[in-house]
Amino acid sequence: MPSTAPDPELPATEVENGGEGELEETPAATRTPDQWWRSAVIYQIYPRSFADGDGDGIGDLPGITSRLDALVELGVDAVWLSPFYTSPQHDAGYDVADYCDVDPRFGTLQDFDSLLTRAHAEGLKVIVDLVPNHTSSDHRWFQEALASPEGSAERARYLFRDGRGPDGSQPPNNWQSVFGGQGWTRTTRPDGTPGQWYLHIFDSSQPDLDWTNPWVHEQFADILRFWLDRGVDGFRVDVAHGMAKAAGLPDYTPPAGTGSMGGGVTLAPEIEGHAAEDPATPPYWAQPGVHEIFREWHAVLEEYEGDRVLVAEAWVDPLEKLADWVRPDEMQQAFNFVYLETPWQAPALRSVIDESLAAFGGVGAPSTWVLSNHDVVRHASRLALTAENPQGAGIGPKSPGQPIPDIGLRRARAATALMLALPGSAYLYQGEELGLPEVIDLPDSARQDPTWFRTNGARYGRDGCRVPIPWEATAPGYGFNTSGESWLPQPGEWTRFARDTQLGVPGSTLELYRLALELRRSHGLGTGSVDWLPGYSEQVVAFRNGDVTVIANLGTTPVELPAGEVLVSSDALPEAVLLTDSTVWLHTL
Ligand code: GLC
């Protein structure tokens, strides 16, 4: 049975294959089945850690350009670049001080243009990051606001408020920062006396913008046009569930057991993503006001030729709610973090696949799939944790439930082989194609995530998934650069993960990815559908997508392979059986 449940509100053609039919009844709909992003595999480049052209230990744009060939060889369709804009780097670039320039650490605007030209020449689309919830406190807008009187137009760009209590010494409300500690910081007036407070849902160096102010809307429309004019293919929108806050900024106490805000950047979905009318919805997430912003941006993208895309980073649950982010006149895609957070259990995976295809397909959008990114524990470690690990907490030497590396890599390979067989668009995070695990034993002195500092080390944060990746086994810095410098230390035992150790080696993780990506394309899996196969045990995920049969065995009992030519397998297949924690694709007619 196809996993997509038709939505009675929509013409029947819309929901099959992630909703590729025509949206006759929606005036703003301009979607066609051949839109590249519907089935694209998009590779996330984290510029600090991808390739370092100038050897200062921080990756850069020329470094990326020099390594684009490797991504063509890998077989991805597009890259998403995490921020490379002018920034003091208090949150690794997600604290932007100038949205329309490149930080000198990463290069210049000319370097960006060269990267884009080269990527396009190689057939790769390029998506850049847009960070609209907050700026850096170094941004001119914020500096002008601080220098301007209370109640001024400059202050109205941000969320400045008077403090509570007779002397205003208490924060305006009880909101906490995602990174730990309170969500407000008090300013000091020019005469040295304490002044108003400003809201920062993240670090104190990341003041939240006030999206009820039309001026803010105008600035961001211009920023979009600046990058669209340069030729980018789209934007990944940071914290796309956070820009609108509930009127009056009411106090909010998360339900017991979920921590101050739920435990990390992503927070616990049970408190984060409920509908605005749900009393459990925090007044800073998933407020209805965000949708007006997306519609504006959708219209800006439509001013341009080509097929440009907005991708929501929105930690919203349930999926039916997240589907609102990708209605036909809003964004094109949203990261499926519900999928990312699904445990390695067959029934849970079958359900989330069904729910994803139904929810996104119900609004005519493709589902997306993702297992790793720069905010989460790498899936080669996460899938083999032996204790609960709240999202955003990270893993360090003292964390309970340390992952079991061999099981982790085995599951990661199986999970990726399963993900890449699904219809829709898939996201890869740099280094996962090498099977990289989380780096757990970073010295405390090397850690840089604001989460680590704001929680006094109670949460390790996200540095462990951000270590510069290994290209060459025997080169300094594993070929990240030629100097051997690295902003986070690389582990001594990464030789076996280096790209040149794996390239051309049958069965290596890199070759598994390459083969799966090639077959995904040649068999049209990204534009296909999921037909569940009966007759398998509860611990098996088995479906057909076109002429490919996909079987993932999450149980301990070996699964006999059906007839058909083996196309790709995440593990060796002794005696034609699929062992535990492995996935196979078979060509079946
Ligand atoms: C997003 C980014 C994360 C960043 C945060 C604040 O969640 O992915 O890395 O710290 O927003 O900008």
Residue 251 C-alpha to ligand 1 middle, in angstroms? 23
| Mean pLDDT, range 253-282, rounded to an integer | 47
Q: Whose CA is nearest to atom 2 of ligand 1?
A: 238
Rounded to the nearest 5°, which phi and psi values hold at 267? 60, 170
Among 249-253, 260-264, 305-309, name the one with the lowest average pLDDT.
Answer: 260-264
Please, which pLDDT band fits residue 470 given cuts at 50, 70 and 90?
Answer: very high
Quote the pLDDT of residue 22.
37
Cα 170 to chain centroid distance, Å, stands at 35
Beta bridge partners of 312: 237, 334
Which of 375, 454, 466 best tests ligand 1's pocket when mutated (most atoms within 8 Å of CB)? 375
Quote the pLDDT of residue 274.
31
Candidate list 69, 122, 162, 303, residue with the active-site label: 303
Please, which pLDDT band fits residue 254 given cuts at 50, 70 and 90?
Answer: confident
Quote the pLDDT of residue 9.
32
Residue 109 C-alpha to ligand 1 middle, in angstroms? 23
Please, which pLDDT band fits residue 569 given cuts at 50, 70 and 90?
Answer: very high
Check pLDDT > 70 for residue 431.
yes
CB 129 within 8 A of CB 238: yes
**Closest of 441, 447, 480 to residue 462, by C-alpha:** 447
Task: List, in order, residues 6 or more apart from 161 with CB less than 8 Å away.
Answer: 172, 184, 196, 197, 198, 199, 249
The verdict on the CB of residue 94 being under 6 Å from ligand 1 is: yes
Quote the pLDDT of residue 462.
98
The verdict on the CB of residue 238 being under 6 Å from ligand 1 is: yes
| Mean pLDDT, range 446-469, rounded to an integer | 97
Is pLDDT larger for residue 391 or for residue 259?
391
Residue 178 C-alpha to ligand 1 middle, in angstroms? 10
| Mean pLDDT, range 104-128, rounded to an integer | 98
Residue 425 C-alpha to ligand 1 middle, in angstroms? 21
CB 297 within 8 A of CB 310: yes
Check pLDDT > 60 for residue 4.
no
User: Is 303 among the residues known to form the active site?
Assistant: yes
Q: How far apart are CA 532 and CA 221, in angstroms?
A: 44
How high is the mean pLDDT of the chain? 91
Token pair listed for 250: 């009411």
The C-alpha angle with vertex 346 and arms to 342 and 347, in degrees rounded to 5, equals 85
SS3 content of the chain, % helix, strand, coil (to 5): 30, 15, 55
Which of 82, 85, 94 best tests ligand 1's pocket when mutated (most atoms within 8 Å of CB)? 94
Please, which pLDDT band fits residue 255 given cuts at 50, 70 and 90?
Answer: confident
Residue 30 C-alpha to ligand 1 middle, in angstroms? 30
Candidate list 7, 203, 238, 317, residue with the active-site label: 238
The verdict on the CB of residue 76 being under 6 Å from ligand 1 is: no
- End-to-end Cα distance, the chain: 17
Rounded to the nearest 5°, which phi and psi values hold at 241? -110, 5
Q: Whose CA is nearest to atom 4 of ligand 1?
A: 94
Q: How many CA atoms does the CB half-sphere of 325 hold within 13 Å?
A: 33
Residues of the chain with pLDDT > 70, as a percent, come to: 90
3-state secondary structure of 446: helix
By residue count, the chain amounts to 589
Quote the pLDDT of residue 487.
98
Check pLDDT > 50 for residue 271.
no
Q: Tokens 């339900």 sit at which residue?
A: 255
Please, which pLDDT band fits residue 537 given cuts at 50, 70 and 90?
Answer: very high
Is pLDDT larger for residue 17 or for residue 174?
174
Q: Are strands 234-237 and 125-130 parallel, antiparallel or unpaired?
A: parallel
**Closest of 530, 526, 534 to residue 545, by C-alpha:** 530
Q: Whose CA is nearest to atom 6 of ligand 1?
A: 94
Q: pLDDT tens digits for 496-533?
A: 999 999 999 999 999 999 999 999 999 999 999 999 99
Residue 85 C-alpha to ligand 1 middle, in angstroms? 14
Token pair listed for 1: 């049975």
Quote the pLDDT of residue 444.
97
Other beta carbons within 10 angstroms of residue 579's beta carbon come to 17
Is pLDDT larger for residue 536 or for residue 13?
536
User: Is 238 among the residues known to form the active site?
Assistant: yes
Please, which pLDDT band fits residue 257 given cuts at 50, 70 and 90?
Answer: low
Quote the pLDDT of residue 3.
36
- Ligand 1 atom showing the smallest separation from residue 373 Cα: 8
Among 7-21, 222-236, 561-575, name the one with the lowest average pLDDT.
Answer: 7-21
**Closest of 51, 173, 180, 73 to residue 122, by C-alpha:** 73
Please, which pLDDT band fits residue 30 given cuts at 50, 70 and 90?
Answer: low
Q: Tokens 């390979």 sit at which residue?
A: 413
CB 503 within 8 A of CB 490: no
Check pLDDT > 50 for residue 391.
yes
Residues of the chain with pLDDT > 90, as a percent, come to: 88
Q: How far apart are CA 423 and CA 406, in angstroms?
A: 29
Check pLDDT > 50 for residue 58.
yes
Three-state DSSP string of 304-334: CCCCCEEEECCCCCCHHHHHHHHCCCCCCEE
Handedness of CA 519, 522, 528, 530 (dihedral sign): negative
Q: pLDDT tens digits for 92-111?
A: 999 999 999 999 999 999 99
3-state secondary structure of 541: strand
Other beta carbons within 10 angstroms of residue 177's beta carbon come to 23
Check pLDDT > 60 for residue 11.
no
**Closest of 371, 241, 258 to residue 293, by C-alpha:** 241
Q: How far apart are CA 106 and CA 279, in angstroms?
A: 43
The verdict on the CB of residue 375 being under 6 Å from ligand 1 is: yes
CB 206 within 8 A of CB 91: yes
Q: How far is CA 154 from CA 145, 160, 218, in A?
A: 5, 10, 14
Q: pLDDT tens digits for 134-150?
A: 999 999 999 999 999 99
Which of 265, 272, 427, 451 best tests ligand 1's pocket when mutated (most atoms within 8 Å of CB)? 265
Check pLDDT > 70 for residue 574.
yes
Check pLDDT > 60 for residue 331.
yes
Check pLDDT > 90 for residue 281.
no
Task: List, in order, residues 6 or more apart from 474 with CB less than 8 Å away.
Answer: 495
Q: pLDDT tens digits for 332-377?
A: 999 999 999 999 999 999 999 999 999 999 999 999 999 999 999 9
CB 550 within 8 A of CB 542: yes
Please, which pLDDT band fits residue 61 given cuts at 50, 70 and 90?
Answer: very high
Cα 262 to chain centroid distance, Å, stands at 18
